[in-house]
Structure 1
Amino acid sequence: MTEVQALLERHLRSPETHWHIGTFGVVAEFMRDADEPVAFPDDGGLAAFTARGAIRLEATADLALFAYETAASRAKSWGHHVALCLPRDACAMNRRKVITELGRDHQAVRADDRRCLLFDLGLDRPQVDACVRTSDLRLIDILRRAEGRSFFDASHGALTAVLKASPHRVFMTRIGRAEVFQPIPAEGATTPPGPHTHVLPKLMRTGRTHAANAPIPEHLAPCGGFAPPHPYRDARGLPAPFDPERHASFQSLLDRFGDQRLVAVKRAAAYEIHGDDLKPLTRPERMAARVGALQRGLPTAP
């Protein structure tokens, strides 16, 4: 097992690590509670599923991990993430522009789901094919009649039917897939805790592959990622007492998979080290310095 495979497996088995698969504006998230039953299928590689969702990862040879931290200008805490990236010329999925039936989902994480039909919604995203999976005959009929047309075309009713029937959502990339079994929330309702999806046309129209505050190197495209346990937040994202071991754990990831210039600028701000060579000059460097200021004076792990 490679270093990356071992790292992914370790975090996949942690209920406090949150995962996402997809791109800016089209993303599926997988998470689970500490006491929630979970299975790790032997035939699925780096895979896990619960009653609410599933995930499978593929540690391909060109998979690149990129660790980074973020903080808004007025933030009182920071975020940390590990992006799962591929070279931009290797990340492309099928980029279908219309609803397309794909047949049975033979790659479903759970064996029972492999008899269900998969339909690509035709969202034309570079890194992800956003699909729904169903055995609902009425929904299958509606989707088949809408084949070859835009999912957002109101005349065929597929969008309304999907929202009502709430089929499984299956988001697939070159580095893995996430499957969401939970119902789609009604319009205006709160996103349920646990696995869920977002399809946000406003963000899709930007054409971005990731958020502007993620300092992903230009030659890479993130296809997903994970957020390890945070030193100041619990698994639900609520404030918690500072955990120095969690902080030290992510700093190790940052040293191994981060941008070393950003790490140096961040630590210069954290330890109040001065020098012209460590002044933050770019937007990512200024954000790194803000993170460093927020981390100033933190205790270290024993």
Structure 2
Amino acid sequence: MTGQAERSVETLLRTQIVDPDCAWSLGSYGAVTAIRRNPDEPARPLDDGRIGLTTDRGAIALAVSSALRPFAYETGFTGGWSQTVALCLPAAACAMGRRAVLTELGPDAAAVRPQDRDGILFDLGLGLEAVDACVRVTDPALTARLRAMTGRPLFEAGNPAVLALKVSSPHRVFVARLGRIEIYTAIPAPYGIGDPGPHSHILPKLLLMRRTHAATAPIPHGWVPVAALHPAHPGKDASGLSIPFDAGRHAAFERLLDAWGDPVLVALRRAVLSGEVPDPVLADGRFARLAIRAARAQRAAMDA
């Protein structure tokens, strides 16, 4: 990445981080942290050179590097579409600890808030390629319990660590080469309603698939998405409820697609939105079909 391109990526991140309608996620397939703040929620920018912010419910801290590549795309589905800018690293440069058992890492010196830096990090041992999925513990009793369980797979039969974590709800801290997201909210009870803002989820059945991302995400070969930003959606509010189509938001994401999207998928999208028939050669393939489906959903929303 050239210096100009790196500055463009930094501009992208800094522009979106100040928008409360933009959500962020960091993780891998089956294990993700996500953060979104309310428009009136106090947020403090970081003063240590990292791009990010902290609230009373969570924090995000990112750093631009020459290896980082954004990739913007849309995915159509029944009843609508999603929009994402994946933040990708080369597969050869994204590896983290890849630990397969619960492991104590020591004090979290890189914690976003100074008061959290004495907390003890435990890698949950999910074996992810590009993300260390951790918890940060300040309670001495929980620290002692987890230390007694280190060296064991988290989800092995009879491991009491899972229940201990659910009951105590320590901070979840997911770390990648480009930064981290920290979640301070409580882990919801089974079948309970979690915090609509900062939250995390770990889905063991998806982890077994050993994927870095969903099969519907058109990530270029050789790249791994470790985080993503999700700009304000033209047809949904922050809670996912439908809103009247917002042409400004639609145009804003179109600019991101022009800058960071796959030119073939962008051309298909533009053809559909213009009322043209997509080139049948370009329209062949899963990602092309999903892009066309997203564009058709957008046309329907515009005409509603």
After TM superposition, is the score higher than 0.5? yes
Separation (CA, whole Å) in 2 of partners of 1:275 and 1:214: 20
Task: Assess if the C-alpha contact under 8 Å between 1:105 and 1:118 holds in 2.
Answer: yes
Corresponding position: 1:188 with 2:191: yes
Which residue in the other structure is 1:105 paired with?
A: 108
Task: Assess if the C-alpha contact under 8 Å between 2:173 and 2:183 holds in 1.
Answer: yes
Change (3 A) 1:297 1:22: closer
Select the residue among 60, 68, 74 that pairs with 1:69: 74
Which residue in the other structure is 1:58 paired with?
A: 63
Separation (CA, whole Å) in 2 of partners of 1:156 and 1:284: 40
Task: Assess if the C-alpha contact under 8 Å between 1:25 and 1:198 holds in 2.
Answer: yes
Task: Assess if the C-alpha contact under 8 Å between 1:70 and 1:79 holds in 2.
Answer: yes
3-state DSSP of counterpart to 2:136: strand
Corresponding position: 1:216 with 2:219: yes
- The one-character-per-residue Cα deviations of 1:163-193 (angstroms, maximum 9, x if unpaired) are 1111000000111100000000011212221
Select the residue among 143, 148, 151 that pairs with 2:151: 148
Select the residue among 243, 248, 253 that pairs with 1:240: 243
Change (3 A) 1:239 1:119: same
Return the offset for 1:44: 4.6
Corresponding position: 1:36 with 2:44: no
What stretches of structure 2 of length at least 5 have no aligned partner? 1-5
Corresponding position: 1:290 with 2:293: yes
Change (3 A) 1:135 1:175: same
Which range moves more in the overlay, 283-292 or 49-58?
283-292
- The one-character-per-residue Cα deviations of 1:240-264 (angstroms, maximum 9, x if unpaired) are 1111111111000001100000111
- The one-character-per-residue Cα deviations of 1:3-31 (angstroms, maximum 9, x if unpaired) are 11111011111111000000110100011
Change (3 A) 1:247 1:275: closer
Task: Assess if the C-alpha contact under 8 Å between 2:268 and 2:278 holds in 1.
Answer: no
Separation (CA, whole Å) in 2 of partners of 1:17 and 1:101: 33
Identity %: 46
Separation (CA, whole Å) in 2 of partners of 1:44 and 1:99: 31
- The one-character-per-residue Cα deviations of 1:165-224 (angstroms, maximum 9, x if unpaired) are 110000001111000000000112122211111100111111111111111112111001
What stretches of structure 1 of length at least 5 have no aligned partner? none
- The one-character-per-residue Cα deviations of 1:44-92 (angstroms, maximum 9, x if unpaired) are 51021111101111111100000000112xx232111000000111111
Change (3 A) 1:158 1:289: same
Residue-pair matches, total? 298
3-state DSSP of counterpart to 2:59: strand
Which residue in the other structure is 2:7 paired with?
A: 2
Which residue in the other structure is 2:86 paired with?
A: 83
Return the offset for 1:43: 1.3
Select the residue among 232, 256, 261 that pairs with 2:259: 256
Task: Assess if the C-alpha contact under 8 Å between 2:272 and 2:278 holds in 1.
Answer: no
Task: Assess if the C-alpha contact under 8 Å between 1:53 and 1:195 holds in 2.
Answer: yes
Q: Which amino acid counterpart does residue 271 of structure 1 have in structure 2? A: S
RMSD of aligned alpha carbons: 1.7
- The one-character-per-residue Cα deviations of 1:114-171 (angstroms, maximum 9, x if unpaired) are 0111111111001110111011011000111111111123445211111111100000
Task: Assess if the C-alpha contact under 8 Å between 2:264 and 2:282 holds in 1.
Answer: no
Task: Assess if the C-alpha contact under 8 Å between 1:270 and 1:297 holds in 2.
Answer: no
Q: Give TM-score, length-normalised by structure 1.
A: 0.94
